[in-house]
Amino acid sequence: MDRPFSKIICNEKAAKLLRAGHPWVYGEETRLAGDPPENGAIVDVYTEKGRWMGAGFYNAHSKILVRLLSRNTNDRFDEAFWRRRIEYAVAYRRTVMGEAGFRCCRLIFGEADLFPGLTVDRFEDVLVTEVLSLGIEVRKELLYSLLREVLAEAGVPVRCIYERNESPLREKEGMQVGKGCAFGDPGDGHVQIVENGLRYDVDFVNGQKTGFFLDQKYNRAAAARLAKGRSVLDCFTHTGAFGMNCAAGGARQVISVDISEDACVQTRANLALNGLEGNVSVCQADVFDLLTRLAAGERPAGFPSGRHPFDYIILDPPAFTKSRQTAQAAFRGYKEINLKAMKLLPRGGYLATCSCSHFMESWLFEKMLREAASDAGVQLRQIENRQQSPDHPILWGVPETEYLKFYLFQIV
């Protein structure tokens, strides 16, 4: 029986990527067979030789013409299909995160969970979503309803579903930008979570992204294992998480730095929640400028003195690049902060450094680290090379899902 969907014919370049597991088809790689479908509709993708490659969301507004949903010809995209997909995603998180970790984790991670363009983070009884594809946008009410049903069956009541659809990528998909409550009562827009035994206040209405970066959970715990007795400089602290983990791990002193006043306020609130105000100092400053001043020998008030004021530095910057075109500029930014950190640290000191940009690929990030170490006149002894936590799964064949690089080094 013929399938009811419109047909998109892709060229061999696109077909090769699809065979390797990549889920996107770009407009310049295709032609229509028949009348154009509605944007947001599901279409079939075929090769020039007539081989069916899969079915996915169509959007002529987007550079990505088709986002593949399924490679199974038996799939029918009804309510039961979407329920199964959600059940798979929820069951996976309960398995890899455990029941405690399941309370605050990424429930759906876009293409890695075969939900193109959908992000769902769980913070206790609050779900925070981001929709970046039109195909999901026109089906989101059904998906939100099914999310609540599946979670209720798992014993998780959902108080609120809040949308953070503020990315300019939505405009490129032909959608409006905005945020707001899609279900329930957001209250004051805050919810408390526990991660690695520490409590955090999550501002899911006005905080960055969905309000809290869940992908560094286990990296924070790994960083804390090196902190006992050390003087720690926690750079780009955001909500204070790395510094707090180090303080809880027995650090002698922690100074957490961020340029954002809101981030510093949030960090102080989180310190108070955990009774760590006396263990961590919060400094509002531009990290680039601060590292330059420290490398030049300046010691601001409240900072330790000496040639090497810190024996442990953590660098967790925001993404310096969101495109391949700016990767080299980002390379220079990453190198600047890492070079200065390496110069500040004594022999035997420790460095935690990371990048959350997919476009700063692992090989390029490592090249930057080697150059920085050479310029600083030090060697790096690698302790660990880590990635994002498993609630942000990496789907092989989809390199965009592999984005977080996290390294722990000793300076030798």
Quickly name the fold that domain 6-70 has. Answer: 2.30.130
**Cα separation of 114 and 255, whole Å?**
41
Cβ neighbors of 31 (< 8 A, separation 6 or more) are 8, 9
pLDDT tens digit sequence for 92-104 = 999 999 999 999 9
User: Tokens representing 62?
Assistant: 């987007």
CB 48 within 8 A of CB 88: no
pTM of the predicted model as reported, rounded to 2 decimal places: 0.94
Quickly name the fold that domain 213-411 has. Answer: Rossmann fold (3.40.50)
Q: How buried is residue 176: exposed, middle or buried, by Cβ count under 10 Å (0-12/13-18/19+)?
A: exposed
pLDDT of 2 over the 80 cut = no
Of 95, 184, 185, 112, whose CA–CA distance to 401 is shortest?
Answer: 112
Which sequence positions are flagged as catalytic? 356
Diameter over CA atoms, the chain: 78
User: Tokens representing 82?
Assistant: 């979407």
CATH 2.30.130.10 spans which residues of the chain? 6-70
pLDDT score for 318? 86
pLDDT tens digit sequence for 356-401 = 988 889 999 999 999 999 999 999 999 999 999 999 999 999 999 9
CATH 3.30.750.80 spans which residues of the chain? 79-189
CB 226 within 8 A of CB 408: yes
pLDDT of 319 over the 90 cut = no
CATH architecture under which domain 79-189 falls: 2-Layer Sandwich (3.30)
CATH 3.40.50.150 spans which residues of the chain? 213-411
What average pLDDT is seen over the chain? 95
Q: How confident is the model at residue 134 (pLDDT cuts 50, 70, 90)?
A: very high
